[in-house]
Amino acid sequence: MRKLLVSAGLPTGMEGLTYPIPFSDPANLLRIALHAETLGYHSVWGNDHMTTQNYVRAEFPTPPRFWEPLVTYAWLAAATRTLRFGTGILVLPMRRDIVVTAKQIATLDHLSGGRLELGVGIGAYREEFEALWPDSDAHRGDMLEEGVAALQLLFSRREASFHGQYYKFRNVEFSPKPLQARLPIYYGGNSPNHIARVARSADGWIPAAMPPEHLRPLVERLQAATAAAGRDPDAIAVAPQFIVHLGKTNEDAVARFKQSQMYRHLMSLRQSTLKDQAGIPMEAINLVGSVDQVVERAVRLREAGVSHFLGLYFAANDVQELLDQMQLFAEQVMPRIT
């Protein structure tokens, strides 16, 4: 069995969604990253937003600050030594020039010493895509898959040409390639289409949180599809994202979780990416409870096929609470599940 990895979420684009405004100023991003490295987290994973969602505009009078993750990581890499950086997720359909995006990725991989991992997806809010592409009728899933194929071509060929429906370039001599011989690429999202995409060409799958009994058959489907594609199923990371809040008792943890901005955000996603889980309490899906309860749930998830608890988002209404939750999880949960 491959080593279980545990990483923490970095709130690059989470103000107004999972955390209040203000929350994620640069000093706090640095505090979180340094704390994660000190505590032994494998990596930090930040998300990608370009404009404010409608429901956030309605709730907050002040706009949130959404930091571009690749630029943010270039800065944080200079302040860290071992911590890896992942995009959870980079919304490729919102990035019009795939060659420029590839250049940013390759540059960051070199400047960080090969510490970059790339999670990609379509994004949770189509309204964001439509704000950037107001006249487009693009299928974002097809656009995403085409973007990954273009990136992989640029990363593997001295000269590359691509003639897709959404992305086109000709005779691009792309150098330098990423520092890592194979820069890890994950597809993020619960769509069954992503399972096929991962099986064909990617290194990992980032689904949203789900109970072990829901995850296990999907992992089995992924493994079968990967084997059918002539690839090693054991080489594919199963890396769901969960929300975490630890309390002295289950009741304490659930009560505090339901007071968080994180909880309100998750309820909003029940209209989109989490619509298949509308009948299950959010605390039952995620890692919310006492230490013993969270350990028991995490062990069951590992048995269901999880190989990486990726970018855990800690429910907290201020940065100190987030740091305290990170430390509690690292000291009391991680040694019992890794």
The DSSP line for 137-175 is ---HHHHHHHHHHHHHHHHH-SEEEEE-SS-EEEEEE--
Token pair, residue 142, equals 């097809």
Angle at 45 between CA 23 and CA 114, to 5 degrees: 130
Give domain 5-337's CATH architecture: Alpha-Beta Barrel (3.20)
What is the pairing mode between strands 159-163 and 168-173? Answer: antiparallel
Distances (CA, A) of 226 to 70, 204, 206, 235: 29, 11, 16, 10
What are the C-alpha distances in Å from 52 to residues 26, 66, 71, 219, 246? 19, 8, 19, 34, 30
Question: Do residues 195 and 175 touch, judged by C-beta distance below 8 A?
Answer: no
Cα–Cα distance between 218 and 214 in angstroms, integer?
7
DSSP conformational letter for 280:
S
Mean of pLDDT values over 204-225: 96
pLDDT at 271 over 70: no
Of the chain, the percentage scoring pLDDT greater than 90 comes to 91
Instruction: Give the separation between CA 322 and CA 262, rounded to whole angstroms.
Output: 12
Is the confidence at residue 2, as pLDDT, over 80?
no
Looking at the predicted structure, is the pLDDT value of residue 9 above 90? yes
Nearest alpha carbon to residue 87 among 108, 103, 111? 108
How many other β-carbons are positioned within 10 Å of the β-carbon of residue 138?
15
pTM over 0.75: yes
Judge whether 179 and 151 are in contact, CB under 8 Å. no
Q: What is the DSSP letter of 315?
A: P
Q: What is the CA radius of gyration of the chain?
A: 19
Please state, for a pLDDT cut of 70, what percent of the chain lies above it: 97
In tens, the pLDDT along 150-195 reads 999 999 999 999 999 999 999 999 999 999 999 999 999 988 889 9
Phi, psi torsion values for 311, nearest 5 degrees: 55, 50
Burial of 256-267, coded b for 16+ CB within 10 Å and e otherwise, reads: bbbebbbbebbe
127, 56 contact by CB (below 8 A): no
Give dist(CA 71, CA 316) in Å, integer. Answer: 25
Chain segment 304-319, per-residue pLDDT in tens: 999 999 999 999 999 9
Q: What are the φ/ψ torsions at residue 246 (nearest 5 degrees)?
A: -105, 140
Give the integer Cα–Cα distance in Å for 326 and 317. Answer: 14
Residue 259: pLDDT over 80: yes
Going from N- to C-terminal start, the domains of the chain cover: 5-337
Instruction: List all residues 6 or more positions away from 326 whose beta carbon is below 8 Å from its beta carbon.
Output: 8, 32, 35, 36, 39, 41, 314
Least confident of 1-5, 37-41, 76-80, 226-230: 1-5
Please give the Cα distance from 327 to 335 (Å, whole number). Answer: 12
Residue with tokens 């609470």: 321
* Residue reference for tokens 């279980």: 4
31/83 Cα distance (integer angstroms): 13
Cβ distance 180 to 116 under 8 Å? Answer: yes
With a CB cutoff of 8 Å and minimum separation 6, the contacts of 94 are 48, 50, 123, 128, 129, 132, 133
